[in-house]
Each structure stands twice: as structure tokens, then as C-alpha cells.
Amino acid sequence: MRHDKIMTSANSDDVVVDVKYLNVIFGTKRVVRDVSFSVNRGEIIGIFGISGAGKTTTIRVLTCQIKKKYWIGNVKVTGISPAKKRNHAKILSNIGYVPQLETLNLYYDLKPMTNVETFASTYGLDTNDAKKIAENLFSILDIPEDTWNKKLKNMSGGEKKRVSMALGLIHQPEILFLDEPTTGVDAYKRYSILTYLKKLNRELGTTMFIISHDMECSLVCDRAAIMRNGKLLEFGNPKDLVASLPSNGIMAMFSIEDLNENKIEIVRKYPAVKTLIRTGNEAIEVLLDDFETNISKLVRHMIKKGIKINSMTRATATFRRFFQIRIQEEDEKERREKEEKGQVDKKEKAPEEIKKQDGEKRKNKAKKGKKRGETK
């Protein structure tokens, strides 16, 4: 794991979230496994992973949504442990939460300012103070002033999203948790939401947690975590993580005529090739050891093997690609481990082997049947 260094380098004064060996267990299922990380004040943290990776569960522990009986570990949020129920109110007054779906989390029939009043009152904020803060936030988030006192249901999707963000910040929290802030939003709005988040972080200095499976969120993150099957695979600066790939993440993007599995296997088996990803019908991306030395050798090898290269581009891997590579690596690692333990799935075995085993089973059954008949 690449996050150990970062963990130790954090200044304890600035640490707002500290998680050590967090495990979440629901019944017999371990949903989060030994997750440890710490977050400094003012950082934007992205937590990425496919569905069921454990990212939302981890955040739900931090936001006091999961009872202590379901988790173990040492967790501190703004210096307070969510393990004790009496601390929940203190933690909740120090954090803000922007849920995924506005439809389920805003009062659509009320005005944005009434929503503000409602949520601000829960923190004991004075209505006038809350309105002033809301006006500031709405201005930062470019929510048109003429919509402030109209019903929320008449606002556009993007505006609702921004109102939701403003509500999360209304009590000036130290940490803001955002659950899938870009999900269900078109490409243009996605960028605009990320820009607003960065703007809020820059202007207010609020620490932000972005939970997402949209890798574009990494563009605004100071550090990103990748989770898979409840484990924290990576935690670090997205650029550093990409640079940790072979050849600092420099990769070759090939467009190959009539790309098929045989051709892919030829490239994959080339010794310098570390990782190969098929990215399209005729496109692959290849990570090599010592890119500058080996790329020309690889190209010559491919031509020699009759592979027709339409084009080749040299590029630096994106965080999205890093994520894919790491998940793929882990999948392969897990598969190898299973194979070693002899737990390989029946479907994955050679067909001859399965037939052989089935034949033996049938013979055994027939023998047993004969024996029973004899005893009768």
C-alpha cells in the first residue's frame, strides 16, 4: 500500500479524520477490512471504488450512521470518536453531509431559504445568521438570486445540487462529506460541480470527502483512496499514484488492425510489458518497464509477429487508468490465490478435467446402486 508514508507524515495538529484498522461486520459479512488512513485539514479526499467496495460504509462510520456494535477500530472525526453515542451530536455539528439524491434530501416544496432555515435550526443557528451564510454560499455557488425565494422544485438539477452543497456547509462544518456528487449529472455540469467544490474548498478551507465511482472527481482531489472488497488498496495524491506505475505511468496507446485475443496475447507475453488493457475494438494501452528503451523493441516485435499497427501514441496514464490497472491487478491476484488454494471455480477448469471428474462420479453412483440392489 502506498499510503503508509503519507499517514506518518501528517501533522497530528492538522489531522481531522483518523481511521486505524477499521473493520465493519454485518452478520457474518466483513464489509470493511482493516482500513487505516488519516486526513489533514483543508484537504479534498476522493474515495473511489466499484459498487460494494466499502467506500460508503466507511463514510457511514465516520458520519455516525453505523452503530458501534457493527464496527471495530480506532476512529476519530475532528478529534472525537463516533464509537460513543453521546459524541454523535458533537461530531454531527462538526461535519456536513451532502447526500447523493437531492430528491430524497431536500424539501422540494419549500424555498431554498426555508430549507436553509430548517437545516440551520438543527445546529442551533440563528435564522438571520443562517440567511447571511446562505447568501454567501449561494453567491459562491452562482445560484441566481431570483431563485432564492422560489420553490426549490422549480430550480434546475444543477441548482438543486448546489443548494444541497450549500446546506451541507450552512453550519460552517470542518468536514464536508459528499456522496456521489457527480452521479446523474451531464458531462458539462459534472465539471462545473467539481469546480464549485474546489472553489468552496479554496475559499472556506473546508476538508472534503468525495465518495464516488466517477474517476473525474480525482481531478479536484488532493488525495485519493481506492477501495476494493472492503480493503483500502491505495491512498495518496492521484498524480503520485499514477507516477507509481511502471515508467512513471507513461504508456503506449496502440491502434491495431483486426485486433483479436491472439494479437493481445502476443503483446502481453512480451517480457517488458507490465500491464495491458484493451480500451476499444482496435485499441490497447500498454505499460512497460523502462518505457524509453523498450517501446521500440516492442513495436519491432509486434511488426515481426504480423501485427499491423495503425497508430501509436505516447501518453501519461490517467487516474482512471490507474484505478483500472489496480483493480485488474487485484482481481488477478485474488484469482491466483484461489487457484493456489484449489478453490478454482468449476467453470474455470479445463473441460476435459470436468468431464473426467463427472465420469468418475457417475461410475461411483452406479457402483453404489448395484450394491444396494444386491443387499435387497
- Please report, as ranges, the residues that interact with other proteins according to CB under 8 A: 13-14, 16, 41-42, 63-65, 78-80, 89-94, 97, 99, 103-107, 109-110, 114, 117-119, 121-124, 132-133, 135-136, 139-140, 151, 171-174, 179, 203-206
Please report how close the Cβ of residue 123 comes to other proteins at its closest, in angstroms: 6
Residue 48 grid coordinates: 473511489
Q: Smaller CB distance to other proteins: residue 80 or 253?
A: 80
Query: Which of 249, 246, 247, 286 lies closest to 264 in space, CA to CA?
Result: 286
What is d(CA 85, CA 67) in angstroms, rounded to the nearest whole number? 8
Q: Smaller CB distance to other proteins: residue 109 or 345?
A: 109
Please report how close the Cβ of residue 142 comes to other proteins at its closest, in angstroms: 13
Q: Smaller CB distance to other proteins: residue 20 or 151?
A: 151
Residue 368 grid coordinates: 453404489
Q: Smaller CB distance to other proteins: residue 36 or 57?
A: 57
Q: Smaller CB distance to other proteins: residue 78 or 182?
A: 78
Residue 16 grid coordinates: 481531522
Q: Smaller CB distance to other proteins: residue 89 or 344?
A: 89
Residue 265 grid coordinates: 496475447
Q: Is the separation of the CB atoms in 249 and 242 below 8 Å?
A: yes
Please report how close the Cβ of residue 152 comes to other proteins at its closest, in angstroms: 11
Q: What is the DSSP string of 286-347?
A: EEESSHHHHHHHHHHHHHHTT--EEEEEEEEPPHHHHHHHHHHHHHHHHHHHHHHHT---GG
Please report how close the Cβ of residue 107 comes to other proteins at its closest, in angstroms: 6
Q: Is the separation of the CB atoms in 46 and 212 below 8 Å?
A: yes
Please report how close the Cβ of residue 187 comes to other proteins at its closest, in angstroms: 26
Please report how close the Cβ of residue 57 comes to other proteins at its closest, in angstroms: 11
Give burial (CB, 10 Å; 0-12/13-18/19+) of 269: exposed
Please report how close the Cβ of residue 56 comes to other proteins at its closest, in angstroms: 9
Q: Smaller CB distance to other proteins: residue 80 or 219?
A: 80
Alpha-carbon torsion (67, 69, 74, 79), positive or negative: positive
